[in-house]
Amino acid sequence: MSKKIRVRFAPSPTGGLHIGGVRTVLYNYLFAKQHGGDFILRIEDTDQTRFVSGAEEYIYETLSWCGLEPDESPKKGGAFGPYRQSERKDSYRKYAEQLVNEGKAYYAFDTSEELETKRKNVANFQYNIASRIEMKNSLTLDQDNVKKLLSENVPHVIRIKMPTDEEIKFTDMIRGEVAFNSSQVDDKVLLKADGMPTYHLAVVVDDHLMQISHAFRGEEWLPSAPVHILLWRYLFGEENMPQWAHLPLILKPDGNGKLSKRDGDRLGFPVFAMDWTDPKSNEKTTGFKERGFLPEAFINMLALLGWNEGSEQEIFSLKELIEKFSMERVHKGGAKFNYDKAKWFNHEWIKKFPVASFQLPVEILLKDNGINIDDPKKFEKVLELVKDRCTLLTDFVPQSSFFFQSPESIDVSAIQPKWDEKKNRFFIELIRAYEFINPWQHDDLEKEFKEIAAASQIKPGDVLLPFRIMLVGGKFGPGVFDIAAIIGKEETIKRITHTLQLLK
RNA sequence: ACAGAGGUGGACAAGUGGUCUAAGUCGUCACACUUUCAAUGUGAAGCCGUUGGUUCGAAUCCAACACUCUGUCCCA
């Protein structure tokens, strides 16, 4: 019988969730669901100096917006709790001490200051096989001294003792076999002076205790993988280790390097999934959600940022992704983030989605801009009419406001230069004719318009743009007669009259 | 510096020894349609990091070199 598939996303709650993090969640989720397994959220809050209030709640909200709900989490609970590492603090020490007793780890009493000066004085200082003999630890101090320091509660850490010249290798699901030489890896801290584990100890212990079968994380972790392999070998048996996959990095669009929040600020696109306000600095960072992205499009875009089915299909629903995703088809190389392509995904989803599926967020957006929807039928018609020209949900505001209220300003300057008495008379004539139209519908409006133009010896094209500006306020929006048909006779005539006044 | 990883048009990708004088999408530009902006359709530009090798044949396999990235915190 094969083991149950269990995967986890283990963020540290230190701020907004970066798209790289969301993509890791997504790949975890897809893999779990495809195999009928469990997706677990574990909070890695072992660094209390980096605690940020609200960050954990933000993670729940983000996953929820994305539709990637965990099966087990601190909030939801589960059979393998607690799911917050700070609450598991007591379970780590014994493993670290076990390693010390077995000679695979050691106590180190060097203070942070001592290490800092060391790093300053020695170029590329590493606490490793070569340097540990000159440091203050249980390998260099005599036993009595160590005992004494320990009993006096002198602050100390536990470091792993990397073996000399040993090949450590493992098979990565994306990269195949990856090998390291143990001599090149430094003696990482496993247990900090405050009794909290570092990431290195915590992942291994927690993945074991939570029976994690596959572990996915960003490529930046690859260099420390040998530490984790060794820990597995020492503690729980390498054969029980989860299968690793190191995901390619998401790179900044210009230049090289990892995409950071700063790049988003600098280049004007979101990097976080949702709005995040730093509780200390009060600095606000916009997210994809608030920028007007549909969660379906956001997920779709993220899935393709590092994975490709092998076909030419680019639009996938979450359900399709669950069916088709495979870790083997995740690229090895990092991908530069492309905001234009991200927007394209959103546009595609808006075009293909029935309007009902984004009616609510758009309604809220309009309300925020002072427009209340009181006619749902009309609202639906408007959405259908304008959705092709909305890339982001926020585009619906300028694209549909004028259906519900007269434009705030009229771009008269676009009409004025070519305006003359002949055109003025045309519109007066038009108003007169429109008064009699009943029922008020698209085709009749257009027909009447063209007839009057012909009678006035004006090309319809010459008065169409002015007409548009009268109704919309500017040079945009769907077909003018569609607009006129929806806003109604009274409003149409009112807007023409109003602009005619302005043109005097 | 050391270690690991990576590489196909401006960006993301398909392609894993012959059907590849390769290429889909985004973006850019042009044209068509048109009632502005979109949508839609058509077209344009652009060659597999470099060098060498294996082979009848290489984007695909091998090697070297260069380049880029990640890591080298009591951060995760």
For the segment A43-94, what is each residue's pLDDT rounded down to a tens digit? Answer: 999 988 888 999 999 999 999 999 999 999 999 999 998 999 999 999 999 9
Same-domain check for residues A211 and A328: no
Q: What is the arithmetic mean of pLDDT over A283-312?
A: 95
**Nucleic strand B under 7 Å from the C-beta of A184:** yes
> What does the angle CA A412 – CA A396 – CA A404 come to, to the nearest 5 degrees?
65
Q: What is the arithmetic mean of pLDDT over A428-457?
A: 92
Same-domain check for residues A268 and A241: no
A310: in domain: yes
End-to-end CA distance of chain A, in Å?
Answer: 85
Judged against a pLDDT cut of 90, whether residue A473 lies above it is answered with: yes
Please state at what angle helix A295-304 crosses helix A55-66, rounded to 10 degrees.
Answer: 90
Cα A65 from Cα A361, distance rounded (Å): 12
Q: Do A41 and A68 meet the contact criterion of CB atoms below 8 Å apart?
A: no
Same-domain check for residues A468 and A364: no
Query: Which bases in strand B are touched by protein, i.e. have an atom under 7 Å from a CB?
Result: 1-8, 10-15, 24-27, 35-40, 68-76
DSSP conformational letter for A375: -
Q: List the catalytic residues of A.
A: 261
Q: What is the arithmetic mean of pLDDT over A332-349?
A: 95
Q: How many structural domains is chain A composed of? A: 4
Residue A220 has, within 13 A of its CA and on its CB side, a CA count of 9
Same-domain check for residues A48 and A172: no
For B70, nearest residue by CA–C1' is A220
Same-domain check for residues A34 and A18: yes
A349: in domain: no
pLDDT grade for A395, boundaries at 50, 70 and 90: very high
A458: in domain: yes
Judged against a pLDDT cut of 80, whether residue A255 lies above it is answered with: no
Q: Which of residues 139-178 of A touch strand B (CB under 7 A)?
A: 155-157, 175, 178
**Nucleic strand B under 7 Å from the C-beta of A338:** yes
**Is the Cα torsion angle A207, A212, A213, A217 positive or negative in sign?**
negative
Same-domain check for residues A290 and A183: no
DSSP conformational letter for A219: G
Q: What domain range is A165 assigned to?
A: 89-247
A322: in domain: yes
Å from the A327 CA to the B50 C1': 31
Judged against a pLDDT cut of 70, whether residue A37 lies above it is answered with: yes
A50: in domain: yes
- For residue A1, the model assigns a pLDDT of 42
pLDDT grade for A2, boundaries at 50, 70 and 90: low
For the segment A152-197, what is each residue's pLDDT rounded down to a tens digit? Answer: 999 999 999 999 999 999 999 999 999 999 999 999 999 999 999 9
A82: in domain: no
Same-domain check for residues A287 and A189: no
Calculate the CA dihedral of residues A475, A477, A479, A480 and round it to 10 degrees.
-60
What percentage of chain A exceeds 70 in pLDDT?
100
Cα A449 from Cα A77, distance rounded (Å): 66
Beta carbons within 10 angstroms of residue A138's beta carbon = 22
Q: Which of residues 410-449 of A touch strand B (CB under 7 A)?
A: 446
Cα A191 from Cα A199, distance rounded (Å): 9
Q: Do A128 and A162 meet the contact criterion of CB atoms below 8 Å apart?
A: yes
A401: in domain: no
Same-domain check for residues A463 and A388: no
- For residue A123, the model assigns a pLDDT of 84
| Last residue of one domain, picked from the residues A195, A229, A247 | A247
Pair of tokens at residue A136: 């203050």
Q: What is the arithmetic mean of pLDDT over A409-438?
A: 91
Judged against a pLDDT cut of 70, whether residue A276 lies above it is answered with: yes
Is beta strand A284-285 parallel, antiparallel or unpaired with respect to A276-277?
antiparallel
Å from the A435 CA to the B49 C1': 71
**Is the Cα torsion angle A131, A136, A137, A141 positive or negative in sign?**
positive
A194 CA: nearest nucleotide by C1': B74
Cα A355 from Cα A381, distance rounded (Å): 9
